[in-house]
Amino acid sequence: MLRLVQALILAGGVGTRLRPLTARTPKPIVTLVDRPFIVFMLEWLRAHGVDEVILSCGFLAGSVREVLDDGAAYDLRLHYVDEPEPLGTGGALKYAEELLGERFVVCNGDVLTDMDLSAQLVQHEATGAAATLALARVEDPSAYGLVRVDDDLRVREFFEKPNAGGEQLDSLISAGVYVLERSVLDLIPGGRPVSIEREIWPLLIASGMYGYVASGYWLDIGSPRGYLQGSFDLIEGQVETSLATTMGSDHLSLAASARIEGRVVPAALIGEGCELGPDVHAGSQVILGPGVKVAAGTRLERAVILAGAQIGERCVLRDCVVGERVSIGAHTEVSGGAVIGQDAVIGEHNMITGGVRISPGVVLGDRAVAF
């Protein structure tokens, strides 16, 4: 029988890649579809028998505690460790040492997955490994370091990010989910930042590090591009989560209190109190948070619009993220991976595209921007 495990989630970063969504809100509680970012990971861990989670926080840690509390809502015991400074993946693990038992799972907080953690634990037990790294196959590994394993799945080597488009013998990358024995903590120096990938993994190659080649869904959602893709994959049911109950087989969720005069095309989620005016086209791949108001003639496609935002007449929002309580004036286009931070005010007849990021609270007049 497998020994019980805890989980440590590394969520202490400031979320630089996801700004401006993380400028005022710590990454673990940024809204993803209809719940805080990190809740999908908590639910996944619980489904595989983990009942105690340590959350390593940094930026605005108090806000995370206020939202997640003690974890009872997720049938978990949730503990918090506040990093005094950014300590890196290994340093954060060492800092939480007093709370950790003989075996535990470590997860990067940017991961959205339904991989079989239970199978990873079974393999870890069978091999007697000190560390078992979940490995994912990706089509383009150029943004990641690669991992090579022998036929028996022992890790043979790590190597740096390959060139984009270059020929690769394998495309296995670390999926950011590790099963570790407590002995690994003895290898991590205390009192300073430590990269577990660069400093600790090489020490373990000769003494019991294995890879677990995971199947199922895996995505890094810590960037705007990943955040958008993860959002759409969730409402389309491409990753197994409890959201499937909300979306149903038609991948369409319309809150009973929403007032819809226009057209909504699945996959789409329209939150409580939303208002869509005449001739509005929403979808496919659209998520509207509670209280979003969209005026007549506006078109929304592949867009995430968070709670309380107001969109004027005859706008086009495509491939973009709009933060909480943003106001967008009539005849404005937001597209091309643009992200608008919460409480920003965008005047009429603007064009915001090409990956532009608008900071929270910014006020732009009419015809002020054209990218």
Picking from 183, 198, 230, the residue at the C-terminal end of a domain is: 230
In the prediction, which pLDDT does 205 show? Answer: 86
The span from the CA of 335 to the CA of 343, in Å, is 18
Query: Is residue 147 one of the residues assigned to a domain?
Result: yes
Cis geometry, peptide bond prior to residue 284 (ω within 30 degrees of 0): yes
Query: Is residue 236 one of the residues assigned to a domain?
Result: no
Picking from 195, 230, 265, the residue at the C-terminal end of a domain is: 230
In the prediction, which pLDDT does 1 show? Answer: 42
Longest dimension (CA), the chain: 66
pTM: 0.89
Report whether pLDDT(59) > 70: no
The span from the CA of 151 to the CA of 130, in Å, is 18
pLDDT tier for residue 180 given thresholds of 50, 70 and 90: very high
CATH of the domain at 292: 2.160.10.10
Region 155-178: what's the mean pLDDT? 70
CATH of the domain at 107: 3.90.550.10
Domain count, the chain: 2
Contact 97, 185 (CB under 8 A): yes
**Host H or E run for residue 270:** strand 268-270
In the prediction, which pLDDT does 82 show? Answer: 85
Parent domain of 284: 252-364
In the prediction, which pLDDT does 235 show? Answer: 95
**Host H or E run for residue 43:** helix 39-47
Query: Is residue 244 one of the residues assigned to a domain?
Result: no
In the prediction, which pLDDT does 158 show? Answer: 76
Within 10 Å of residue 46's Cβ, how many Cβ atoms? 16
